[in-house]
Amino acid sequence: MELLATVEKELLPVPNRIARIHHSFFQKNGVVPLGLKEDPTTLVVAVCEGENGAGADVLSIFSGMPLEKKYVPQEEFLEYLNTFREEQGREVVIGVVEDLGESALTEIAQEIPSGHDLLDDAANEPPIIKLVNLLFTIAVKDRASDIHIQPLEKDLRVRFRIDGLLYDTYTPPKRAQNAIVSRIKVMAGLDVAEKRLPQDGRIKVRVNEKEIDVRVSIIPSTYGEQVVMRLLDRGAALIGLDSVGMVGEFEKKMVSLITRPQGVFLVTGPTGSGKTTTLYAVLQYINTPEKNILTVEDPVEYVLQGIGQIQVNPKIQLDFAKALRSFLRQDPDVIMVGEIRDEETARIAIQAALTGHLVFSTLHTNDSASALTRLVDMGIEPYLLTSSVTAILAQRLVRRLCPHCREVYEPTEFERKLLDDYQGSSSAVVYKGKGCPECLNTGYLGRIGIFELLTLNSKLRQMVQNKASSEEIKAEAIRDGMVTLRQDGINRALAGDTSLAEIMRVTIE
């Protein structure tokens, strides 16, 4: 295995028994194998400055070889580690693909039942199953929310979405493409022979005893079928309001709104902005034995104990509107509708609120004020909105700065102007992530929400009645004290939770 031959040309390749150790071991212990000396008895390793070398000692015991330690700065160590990680993945993928027999693809694609732990008996699995399982296993280890498999002209591109952004991982040979897609189709219960039409399915797998629900989408493209898989950890603990980014006075204001006996509370934002996570946090907060809470979702992403949840099913004409009408005969106190997509659903939700129910739902709009005008455009009379809607929460997800490598830095001229415009001062302390093994050298670890909460006062209600534009409504809300998405984001950046660059990436004003 020629792991770092290009970096340390005078060294021989790392022995296979060392090269096969998962990169997470080296990341955790601050050591990376570089290669063997000409006399192939001494293993040369890079040790991150500041480490005591204990990780290298463990490696020496495991390998049975004497070690020569090369202490390097953190930046250089991370380069070695990233090179090792990339080469290790490439070697595994290439090794697996070289074992593939074209004639055996159909048979080996069906050997593991749904729900099988991908780490069990890995050594005995057929090659293509090793390859697909490798993708799932590494994706879960790297906290990926999605796996993208994109066919190119000469390669197969695999990317993971981590904390909202896509990162390249491995590039399997083109000839593995059909085998990989066929294996995924079988696991998802899809038609292996159908390559011309889009297909959607679901897979349930276990990785490290974690139950992972995988939503699969496959579409035909120029160079073959493209696959996107969303990973949902069914066993993940639901987070509270503070964990999604609601703290201090904002959390108190939210609690006062979500504990009202009736009304419509809307959460808005684009796909992937955390709307469902926020609604789950809200429902968990208000979930008590005295309340009958019902939800209709597409799909049900997490099971909430003590709450009645149903999933829409277009095959039997069960949509949001039909489920919502049925809910009203179930004596509910609280109703959650996954998304308001049409006038019928919007009208039933509003009528439910007007008859004494607390209704939560989502809309796809860029800010809170636009939600009101969107509902009017759907055909909802303004007087119904002003009588039922209590608040609208717009939100985005931003990457959280890694607490292990966060550091103060000197803001750019543009960032100084931004701070001056929003804070009245350009001398505030700001932070960025330097990059470290804990955050895979990205500078970020996890995500938090930034929010824009619009509550309807008498003047705003009158403006809605008069069919004012979303810009006019937003301007009045700001005069009334509403904090915009960008302002809230800058506040979080100044608190050291995220970076100004991240706020500029996700907000537009």
SS (H, E, C) 361-375: EEECCCCHHHHHHHH
Residue 240 lies in a domain: no
467 & 325 share domain: yes
Backbone CA torsion sign across 63, 69, 72, 76:
negative
Q: Which pLDDT does position 199 carry in this prediction?
A: 96
Assess if residue 161 is contained within a domain. Answer: yes
pLDDT in tens, 130-175: 778 878 888 888 889 999 999 999 888 999 999 999 998 877 778 8
> Does 457 lie in the same domain as 313?
yes
Same domain, 271 and 357: yes
1-10, 240-249, 294-303, 384-393: range with lowest mean pLDDT: 1-10
What confidence score (pLDDT) does residue 123 get? 45
Kindly write down the DSSP assignment for every residue of 311-349, as one continuous string. E-BGGGTB-HHHHHHHHTTS--SEEEES---SHHHHHHH
Q: Is residue 222 domain-resident?
A: yes
Strand partners, 151: 156
pLDDT value at residue 112? 42
In terms of residue numbers, what domain contains 126? 99-233
Answer yes or no: are the C-beta atoms of 386 and 461 closer than 8 Å: yes
CA-nearest of 34, 108, 36 to 66 is: 36
Q: Which residues contact 351 (CB under 8 A, 6 or more apart)?
A: none
Query: Structurally, how many domains does the chain consist of?
Result: 3
- Mean pLDDT calculated for residue range 444-459: 95
End-to-end CA distance of the chain: 51
Classify residue 491 as exposed, middle or buried by CB count within 10 Å of its CB (0-12, 13-18, 19+).
middle
Q: Which pLDDT tens digit goes with each residue over 272-325?
A: 899 999 999 999 999 999 999 999 998 888 888 999 999 999 889 999 999 999
The pLDDT value recorded for residue 422 is: 83
368 and 316 in a common domain: yes
Task: Report the alpha-carbon distance of residue 412 to residue 476 in Å, rounded.
Answer: 32
Q: Are residues 457 and 318 in the same domain?
A: yes
Q: Which of 433, 404, 393, 455 is nearest to 244 (CA)?
A: 393
Is the pLDDT confidence value at 500 over 60?
A: yes
In three-state secondary structure terms, 236 is coil
> What phi, psi does 107 have (nearest 5°)?
-70, -45
My answer on whether 207 and 77 are in the same domain is: no
pLDDT at position 137 is 83
Let me know if residue 136 belongs to a domain. Answer: yes
Please give the order of strands across the beta sheet that includes 334-337: 308-311, 293-297, 334-337, 358-363, 263-268, 389-401, 444-455
Task: Note the pLDDT tens digit of each residue in 50-67.
Answer: 777 777 777 776 667 788
Mean pLDDT on 328-352? 96
> What pTM does this model have?
0.75
Largest CA distance in the chain: 85
Percentage of the chain with pLDDT > 70? 86
pLDDT at 361 over 70: yes
Mean pLDDT for all residues in the chain: 86
Query: What CATH number is given to the structural domain containing 456?
Result: 3.40.50.300
CATH assignment of the domain containing 37: 3.30.300.160
Same-domain check for residues 354 and 474: yes
The pLDDT value recorded for residue 122 is: 47
Q: At what angle do helices 485-494 and 413-423 cross, to 10 degrees?
A: 110
Identify the CATH number of the domain in which residue 163 sits: 3.30.450.90
Q: Cα–Cα–Cα angle for 279, 280, 284, nearest 5°?
A: 115
210: left (phi over 0), alpha (psi -120 to 50) or beta: beta
Is 402 a member of any domain? no
Read off the amino acid at residue 11.
Answer: L
Cα 14 to chain center, whole Å? 35
> Which residue type does 401 have?
L
Q: Which amino acid is residue 232, in one-letter code?
A: L
Q: Phi and psi of 205, rounded to 5°?
A: -135, 165
Q: What is the β-pairing status of strands 144-151 and 334-337?
A: unpaired
Pairing of strands 165-168, 156-162: antiparallel
Take residue 187 and report the two structure tokens written for it.
């696991």
Rg of the chain (C-alpha set):
26
Angle between helices 127-141 and 74-98 (to 10 degrees): 150
Q: Does 197 reside within a domain? A: yes
Find out whether 187 and 199 touch, Cβ atoms under 8 Å.
Answer: no
Question: What per-residue confidence (pLDDT) applies to 235?
Answer: 67
Domain identity same for 41 and 64: yes
Question: Would residue 418 count as lying in a domain?
Answer: no
- 109 & 222 share domain: yes
Domain boundary among 81, 111, 135: 81
The structure tokens listed for 204 are 């349930």
Give the domain-ending residue among 81, 113, 132.
81
C-alpha 108/C-alpha 178 separation (Å) is 13
- Residue where one domain finishes, among candidates 81, 114, 134: 81
Domain match, 213 and 337 both: no
Task: Return d(Cα 56, Cα 46) in angstroms, integer.
Answer: 9
- Tell which wins on pLDDT, 421 or 318: 318
Range in 135-149, 288-302, 423-437, 443-457 the model is least confident about: 423-437
pLDDT for the residue 495? 93
| H/E run at residue 309 | strand 308-311
Check whether residue 332 and residue 278 sit in a common domain. Answer: yes
pLDDT of 390 higher than 50: yes
In this structure, are 254 and 341 located in the same domain? yes
Question: Is position 422 within any domain?
Answer: no
How far apart (Å, rounded) are the C-alpha atoms in residues 209 and 233? 11
DSSP 112: S
Per the CB < 8 A criterion, the answer to whether 141 and 110 are in contact is no
Confidence of residue 366 (pLDDT cuts 50, 70, 90): very high
| Residues 15-40, mean pLDDT to the nearest whole number | 76
